[in-house]
Amino acid sequence: MSLIAGKAYTFGNNIDTDQIYPGRYLELTEPEEIARHVMEGADSSFPERYQAGGIIVGGTNFGCGSSREHAVIALKTAGVKALIAESFARIFFRNCINLGLPLVICPEITQHVEEGDKLEVNLETGTVNNTSKDRKIQGEELSEFVLNFIKAGGVKPYYKEKNL
């Protein structure tokens, strides 16, 4: 689980939760229905062209806006393996941890990755290897505390596992 590989899908700066999961779909309750609209607000073609197992790469302030968990549910249920961004909105970052979606802060990542590049992400070291360009980019490593939540699939599964 600490090494994740996938195809890069790139986005710019200030991708907010309404772009990740548009508010007009908030009445949907089933994760599979929610996932059908992932990133639709940022790129209307994304749900059709996205292949599960991808890694989303963003610029600064990824996940800004509302604190809705729907955005993380949409990403995770759609099969996004990890998120890499130059920075994340604080509440979104915590929602990803709480729901077990791996993410790495990696300054300047957008300068080293293009749409379609093959990436390998090491969550323990914060290293992103762009195998398409034979380039390693150093991001921030996650603490053991956070890694435990992500490996368990989120906060609730972690505590269920620990308390059973």
* pLDDT single digits (tens) 33-59: 999 999 999 999 999 999 999 999 999
pTM: 0.95
How many domains is the chain built from?
1
Q: Cα separation of 17 and 56, whole Å?
A: 14
With pLDDT > 90 as the criterion, what percentage of the chain qualifies? 95
Average pLDDT over residues 132-145: 96
- Read off the pLDDT of each residue in 81-110 and give the average, rounded to a whole number: 97
CATH number at residue 135: 3.20.19.10
User: How much is the pLDDT for 163?
Assistant: 82
Question: Range of 64's domain?
Answer: 3-163
